[in-house]
Amino acid sequence: MKKPLLPLIDEDGEVRELTQEDMALFRPAREALPAALYEGLASLKNRGGRPKSVAPKIQTAIRFDPDVLAALKATGRGWQTRVNDAMREWLKARG
């Protein structure tokens, strides 16, 4: 005769540690969920993150004097974007 399974939640509302017996009862989501729900969830997979950029930025290395870099970083978050914008303005001014 099988021994009865313990409740997953104790008197305090805490989830207990799962046992090997608990894990043996696990089934793949495809088997456990209604087909429509599973397909809906599966279609959401790999949609995370930001959208692909039409013109993605290119990573490069540039060397700054220590005082210049410290001053740029001291301006706070977004300093690299501001350097990019400043370079764009410089290029426009140059013609």
Kindly report, residue by residue over 18-62, the tens digit of the pLDDT.
889 889 989 999 999 999 999 988 888 776 778 889 999 999 999
Element (H, E) at 68: helix 66-74
Please state, in angstroms and rounded to a whole number, the distance separating the CA atoms of residues 59 and 79. Answer: 15
Mean pLDDT across the stretch 2-15?
Answer: 84
Please state, in angstroms and rounded to a whole number, the distance separating the CA atoms of residues 43 and 38. Answer: 9
- Residue 1 pLDDT: 60
- Residues near 6 by beta carbon (within 8 Å), at least 6 away in sequence: 16, 19
- Residue 43 pLDDT: 83
Sign of dihedral through CA atoms 5, 9, 11, 14? Answer: positive
Please state, in angstroms and rounded to a whole number, the distance separating the CA atoms of residues 47 and 7. Answer: 35
Beta bridge partners of 15: 9
